[in-house]
Amino acid sequence: MKEAVLNAHEVIEAAKEHLDFLSALSMPTIHEYSWPPLYQGIWDWFRKLASASRESGCSVDELFEKVALGLPRGFAKSTFIRLYVLYIILFTDRKFIIIFCATATHARNALSDIADMLDESNIKKVFGDWRVGMEQDTQDVKKFGFRGRNVVLAGIGAGGAVRGLLTKGDRPDVMIFDDVQTKEDSESKVVSDSLYTWLIGTAMKAKSPKRCLTLFIANMYPTENSILRKLKANPEWTKFIAGGILSDGTSLWEDLQPIEQLLAEYRNDVAAGKPEIFHAEVLNDEFAAVNNLLDFSSIPEFPAAEGDIHLGSYIIIDPSNDKHNSDSVAIGYFEVHGNQIPCLMQLVEERLSPGDTIKKALQLAIDNSCSLIAIESNAYQYSLLYWFNLFCQQLGLVGINVVPIYSGSRSKNSRILDFFKAYMAGEISVHPKVKAILEAQMRSFNPMKTDNIDNTLDLMTYSPRVLTEFADQLKNYTVVGAQEWQEDSNKASLFSDETICSSF
């Protein structure tokens, strides 16, 4: 294989533009996997944040941007943020970067890691030796002249004094709070309140009056004292919070934390009677402890083994509505196993347009040879049924029954509580790959509220009813029906990805 030869300018540009390149360049012995798309998107966003200045005409909000970033425990969020500090030193005009961690030791480790990146021979060859301009080099503070400006890099433990670092009139123009709250601290209201007051009243007040980018990086804790939870509710902060398992049942970072590994961790936490820890720290569920009386360890086993032939299958769509926090569409693919038990096998939970909803549902139908699609059709949601049928008619698609399903007169919360009972009794089941997503919503569900995030829970309430109300339409979904589906070449061609995509 021919090696690529790059000059210094090309290397600098590649390191500036591409997270993976900078990561491999500065950590050649550590960088093993490409950063996943979500991290790449955050990286591009953070690069723009670092470029804000008065000279470029930025607003006050842009000059003093405050971002709370919630990433799961064990997903390299500290490594990511230390790479970002390296980027700021190499490619921006920011001068005073301060990193706050839970303890002084953790803060010193952060500075040591960043120093190791700057000391990496690849970095020195391309950008020069940062130590040539070193003025102060301690465990807590590093002051040096580098790339045309004087830089201060400091690390402080939570609750530490900031005033002593404000030398020569310089104040921080980048503040990073990297896991400043420990799980133990989050369990104490007194300690957490004191830490939160210090963060807002002492640390953040030490910022530069010209501009300061403030980043809070953490994961949720299963307690109301979680600072990330408080910042999520603060309208003055920009928030981005992601869980380790995505709504489609895949891992946020499959190379680093494969989904099977995450599910094994979840099963262990459930068996230990502490599933709320996984829900909070891996799924970043702020309400992980709301329903902590649910005993998920007692739920019957999934009633089918891999490769078992199902007794029937169907898809349910819960369209979005205009209620608060209910703007995601939920699409579930169900199979009937065991003693007529409806089982959720696959889940899509995203913000989707009506056209994308139809595409996603049809893709599930294609992948699983499923021909029954039930759509919640209360009020205006009935219109989706119309467009679904019209689309199939225009393409000449046959063999798909799109049917309406209604909630009835009972409230949604009452129906969801009935589902809880059925699920705990094993009368409804969920495939292990989507189990954590479902149970996170169960734990966060508050029956006294009407604005729960409960799209999937609502979807589950319809699963037994579809099985009962449309039982006569399941006859085509036996083994013989599946064979007939596969043998229908015309239908197979009509259900191609290209046909669906070209129709929208």
Domain that holds residue 221: 35-241
Q: How many independent structural domains does the chain possess? A: 2
Residue found under tokens 């006569």: 472
- Same domain (yes/no): 341, 237: no
29 contact partners, CB below 8 Å, separation of at least 6: none
Confidence tier at 331 by pLDDT (50, 70, 90):
very high
- Residue 293: what pLDDT? 56
- In whole angstroms, what is the distance from residue 467 CA to residue 471 CA? 5
Residue 474 in any domain: the answer is yes
Average pLDDT for the chain: 86
Mean pLDDT of 465-485: 67
- Same domain (yes/no): 65, 202: yes
List pLDDT tens digits, range 160-188. Answer: 887 666 666 689 999 999 999 999 999 89
What residue type is 342 in one-letter code?
P
- 159 CB burial (10 A radius; 0-12, 13-18, 19+): middle
| pLDDT for residue 35 is more than 80 | yes
Mean pLDDT of 265-294: 79
- Same domain (yes/no): 336, 481: yes
Residue 172 in any domain: the answer is yes
- Same domain (yes/no): 60, 156: yes
The domain boundary residue, chosen from 209, 241, 273: 241
List pLDDT tens digits, range 285-318. Answer: 877 665 555 777 788 889 998 888 898 999 999 8
- In whole angstroms, what is the distance from residue 319 CA to residue 462 CA? 13
Kindly report which listed range (111-120, 253-262, 267-276) carries the lowest average pLDDT score: 267-276
Residue 6 in any domain: the answer is no
- Residue 324: what pLDDT? 44
List pLDDT tens digits, range 214-247. Answer: 999 999 887 889 999 999 999 999 999 999 988 7
Residue 254 in any domain: the answer is no
Mean pLDDT of 149-159: 94
Question: Angle of helix 104-119 relative to helix 77-91, nearest 10 degrees?
Answer: 50
The domain boundary residue, chosen from 200, 221, 241: 241
**Buried/exposed code over 443-460 (b: 16+ C-beta within 10 A; e: otherwise):** bbbeeeeeebbbbbbbbb
Residue 269 in any domain: the answer is no
- In whole angstroms, what is the distance from residue 69 CA to residue 72 CA? 10
Confidence tier at 46 by pLDDT (50, 70, 90):
very high
The enclosing domain of 434 has a CATH number of 3.30.420.140
The secondary structure of residue 35, as a DSSP letter, is P
Q: Which helix (H) or strand (E) holds 441?
A: helix 432-444
Residue 280 in any domain: the answer is no
Half-sphere exposure of 212 (CA within 13 A, CB side): 21
Mean pLDDT of 379-407: 77
- Same domain (yes/no): 317, 201: no
Phi, psi for 152 (deg, rounded to 5) = -115, 125
- Residue 391: what pLDDT? 78
The enclosing domain of 134 has a CATH number of 3.40.50
| pLDDT for residue 497 is more than 80 | no
- Same domain (yes/no): 174, 317: no
Of residues 22, 43, 35, 31, the one with CA closest to residue 123: 22
Residue 289 in any domain: the answer is no
The strand ranges marked E within 338-418 are: 341-350, 372-376, 401-405
- Residue 483: what pLDDT? 52
- Same domain (yes/no): 344, 211: no
- Same domain (yes/no): 121, 221: yes
- Same domain (yes/no): 372, 495: yes
Under 8 Å between Cβ of 437 and 309: no
The secondary structure of residue 199, as a DSSP letter, is I
Residue 358 in any domain: the answer is yes
- In whole angstroms, what is the distance from residue 25 CA to residue 94 CA? 22
Residue found under tokens 């669906």: 500
Strands 174-178 and 213-218: parallel
- Same domain (yes/no): 338, 456: yes
- Same domain (yes/no): 90, 207: yes
Under 8 Å between Cβ of 334 and 344: yes
The domain boundary residue, chosen from 191, 218, 241: 241
- Same domain (yes/no): 95, 231: yes
